Amino acid sequence: MKVKAMSFRSTSSARSEGRSKMKNFVSKWYSGLLKRPNDRSAEQVLLAHSHLKDLNIFDKFHTSLLQQICCYAHYDKLDENTIVIRQGEHGANWYIVLSGSLTVFISENNKAKPLCTLVPGSSF
């Protein structure tokens, strides 16, 4: 089956130890990412960088690229059942799951069918 895009819907946070650690990790430093990119101090950018560089998803990123991401990225906290993107829409953002989970659904015969669940460390 060929799928060009899928729906991503937030689901409740899992209570596993790994996800709990990620949630605690995020809560300590994400306050700078809650601000609009133009309102961040250099210190907040450096703090975000110092934490993000240790995530596996950024292992291969050059330092300057990760610093730019820290300058422009922002943190979104999604309520349960929030639809992030719908099947057929063209995405304009890159999302990284820091805590909780997202369920990917595909539409088959006008019914949403769960395809997979994205956990902390996943991106789309």
What's the topology of domain 31-74? Helicase, Ruva Protein; domain 3 (1.10.8)
Q: What is the mean pLDDT of the chain?
A: 78
Sequence ranges of the domains in the chain:
1-17+78-124, 31-74
Over residues 99-110, mean pLDDT? 90
Task: Quote the percentage of the chain above a pLDDT of 70.
Answer: 75
Query: How far apart are the C-alpha atoms of 88 and 74, rounded to whole Å?
Result: 24
| pTM higher than 0.75 | no
Q: How many CB atoms lie within 10 A of CB 65?
A: 11
Query: How far apart are the C-alpha atoms of 71 and 45, rounded to whole Å?
Result: 6
* Helical (H) or strand (E) element with 99: none
